[in-house]
Amino acid sequence: MSVHKFQAEVNDLLHLIIHSLYSHKEIFLRELISNASDALDKLRYLTTSDEAYKSITFEPSITISFNDEKNTLTIEDTGIGMNEQDLIDNLGTIARSGTKRFMEAIAQASKKDMNLIGQFGVGFYASYMVAETVSVLTRKAGEDAAWLWTSDGKGSFSIEPAEKASHGTCITLTMNDEGKEFLSRWRLESLIKKYSNHIAFPIFLEWDGFEYDDKGKKKDTKIHRKDQINSAKALWSRSKQEITTEEYIDFYKNITDSEENPLYWIHTKAEGTIEYTTLFYIPEKAPFDLYHADYKPGVKLYVKRVFITDDDKELLPTYLRFVRGIIDSEDLPLNVSREILQQNRIMNTIRSASVKKILSELKELSERDPEKYAQFITEFNRPIKEGIYSDFANKETLLELVRFKSTAVDGWTSLADYKKRMKDGQKAIYYLTGESEERVRKSPILEMYKKEGIEVLLCFDEIDELVIPMIGRYGDIELKAANRTGAEEDIQSKEAKQKQKENAPLAEKIKKALGDLVKDVRVSSRLSESPACIILDEQDPSMQMAQLMKALGRGEEVEVRPILEINPDHALLKKAQNSESDELTSDIAHVLLNQALLLEGVPIKDPSDFVTRLNRLLSQ
């Protein structure tokens, strides 16, 4: 027998699971059944695709039994099994990069979230919420040696050679006081039906008990029973008409290890040249790793109900990574590899059709149930914008799906609704980008648009600087950035143009004071109350984009000089216009520029100089 210490992260993980998820201890059974199902999936795949395994008899089953006298609960499967190294790798070490994030996420969760445990793939350790010790007797398919792994979860585990007649894994939990409630036929049966009814393999409950007569009186005769508890049929292979809403929801919870209901689901069976079935779900809440580069994809691939993979990010485009569900093909080969999958004509056809189906269903939802669609947008508006940038083939549909905040209406609005509200003679759809909704709403650049009653879309997602300009047009209407040169020309009044001519000397005076800090200084037709604002030349990247490029080490390539627009009616500008002091004019010019930069969320280059000039102005 060899004794090993748990990896440090496993100890931390066990402590968190036992103490943080304590009120949800029943999920241990869901996790162990899920692991058993995975082991069966793996063996079924190998027996159909790998010559080395084709001679192995595949008789899938998961059997759960209990002994209330010995205080034990057993979960046994006929799956792939493990050898000694597998036990060390899988049950003693956690090599996943996501484990640290799991521990951080569960420690910070406002309510201890039982969903996190399954999402991070560390469910085996939930056993220690209900067990004093856990033993794992296992034999890997195709190998003769069997092994027994044992641990009380307190820092170490032992592995020793053992005997097992056939491949598979048998996990025995010796229950603690809190776990004794699960040594009951009725309790176990209800949990299996609650969490695992749609597992595609038969789950048996084996138990000893007594017979009862017709009046419910217990007989003296003791019996041994082994009953199948679940339906063991792939839900998606049934027709939509015979599947209840509750079954759809239960299946979603099963495949996502979640207690949340889905927001929406799309069940499609395609017949013809290529036959396949898809069942896609839209979650109510964004997955925790939605914006992580190493996100876990949510779609599983099957071929003729045989599980192939749940780790292929190519099954759907990246911007639809929040979608959960399954794709089941009748035409792909069972031994399809990931490399072949990405080049496969059949898979490309399924993927393309699936994307169009998901987007068309979302469009239909937006028209039929705006309230539910608003829930979707609150969680997934940004990925839809990513699609506009990356999926040219579906750009027009995505433009109908994306939503914006606006100066004209509460909540979300579409480009189509903006177009309906446009004023007579308005030639463009106007938008303004920034780092937060609050900052954009308070931008002085909006003053002219508000005065003229012209709606402006507010864009404050990180990717808006990249995505919105590339939209270009919505139908026959051009999109224009409200903070760039030329945007005001269609709105500018004759009086404003006259004011620009009259105050051209003032603009020149401010520009001379600022020198190379600005590209130009102009008299603004945008401002009515604020003294100044920053705008950008049509050809220049935004200040935020310049900052990003600088952070990536490309700052010199994208050095952006802003254009300062000034309001000649403001008291500070009148002071500058009437002043004969170069120092006072310079102080006003520099303070206005730095204030305008701060309003845009751009850090000023010399805070000390700004404070000195501001103090001089205040003293006067």
Residue 68 belongs to a domain with what CATH number?
3.30.565.10
Structural domain for 469, as ranges = 404-491
Does one domain contain both 224 and 248?
Answer: no
Domain CATH number, residue 283: 3.30.230.80
Calculate mean pLDDT across residues 3-22: 68
Does one domain contain both 52 and 190?
Answer: yes
Residue 376 lies in a domain: no
Percent of the chain with pLDDT over 90: 52
What are the residues facing 309 on neighbouring strands? 301
Does one domain contain both 33 and 59?
Answer: yes
Question: How buried is 554 (Cβ within 10 angstroms: 0-12 exposed, 13-18 middle, 19+ buried)?
Answer: exposed
Residue 29 lies in a domain: yes
Q: Are 419 and 474 in contact (CB under 8 A)?
A: yes
Tell me, what's the pLDDT at 257?
Answer: 77
Q: Of 198, 228, 258, which residue constitutes the final position of a domain?
A: 228
Q: Are 271 and 239 in contact (CB under 8 A)?
A: no
Domain CATH number, residue 526: 1.20.120.790
How much is the pTM?
0.71
Distance of CA 498 to the CA centre of its chain: 52
Tell me, what's the pLDDT at 561?
Answer: 86
- Using CA atoms, how far residue 196 sits from 29, 38, 115, in Å, is 9, 13, 15
Instruction: Tell me the per-residue pLDDT of 489-503, one tens digit each, with 9 for 90 and over.
Output: 777 777 777 888 888
Could you tell me which residues come within 8 angstroms of residue 451 by beta carbon, excluding any fewer than 6 positions away? 528
Computed over every residue of the chain, the mean pLDDT equals: 86
Domain CATH number, residue 434: 3.40.50.11260
Does one domain contain both 529 and 549?
Answer: yes
Instruction: Tell me the per-residue pLDDT of 164-179, one tens digit each, with 9 for 90 and over.
Output: 999 999 999 999 998 9
Does one domain contain both 318 and 357?
Answer: yes
Residue 392 lies in a domain: no
Does one domain contain both 68 and 141?
Answer: yes
Any idea which of 34-38, 102-106, 298-302, 377-381 has the lowest mean pLDDT?
102-106
- Spatial separation of the C-alpha atoms in residues 376 and 365, rounded to whole Å: 10
Any idea which of 300-304, 369-373, 516-520 has the lowest mean pLDDT?
300-304
Q: Answer yes or no: is pLDDT of 254 > 90.
A: no
Percent of the chain with pLDDT over 70: 87
Does one domain contain both 182 and 126?
Answer: yes
Does one domain contain both 66 and 204?
Answer: yes
Residue 272 lies in a domain: yes
Calculate mean pLDDT across residues 6-13: 70
Does one domain contain both 183 and 171?
Answer: yes
Does one domain contain both 511 and 610?
Answer: yes
Tell me, what's the pLDDT at 157?
Answer: 87
Distance of CA 587 to the CA centre of its chain: 48
Instruction: Tell me the per-residue pLDDT of 98-146, one tens digit each, with 9 for 90 and over.
Output: 445 555 655 555 444 444 444 444 578 888 889 999 999 999 999 999 9
Q: Of 228, 259, 294, which residue constitutes the final position of a domain?
A: 228
Any idea which of 293-307, 328-342, 386-400, 475-489 has the lowest mean pLDDT?
328-342
Any idea which of 21-35, 297-311, 354-368 has the lowest mean pLDDT?
21-35
Does one domain contain both 142 and 224?
Answer: yes
Q: State the Rg of the chain over Cα.
A: 32
Residue 30 lies in a domain: yes
Closest CA to 602 of 550, 546, 543, 542: 543
Closest CA to 207 of 193, 221, 225: 225
Residue 383 lies in a domain: no
Which carries the bigger pLDDT value, residue 32 or residue 21?
32
Tell me, what's the pLDDT at 19?
Answer: 61
For the chain, how many structural domains are there in total?
4
Tell me, what's the pLDDT at 102?
Answer: 52
Choose from 116-125, 234-243, 279-288 the range with maximum mean pLDDT. 279-288
Question: How buried is 57 (Cβ within 10 angstroms: 0-12 exposed, 13-18 middle, 19+ buried)?
Answer: exposed
Does one domain contain both 590 and 456?
Answer: no
Residue 224 lies in a domain: yes
Any idea which of 36-50, 337-351, 515-529 has the lowest mean pLDDT?
337-351
Cβ atoms within 10 Å, residue 251: 22
Residue 377 lies in a domain: no
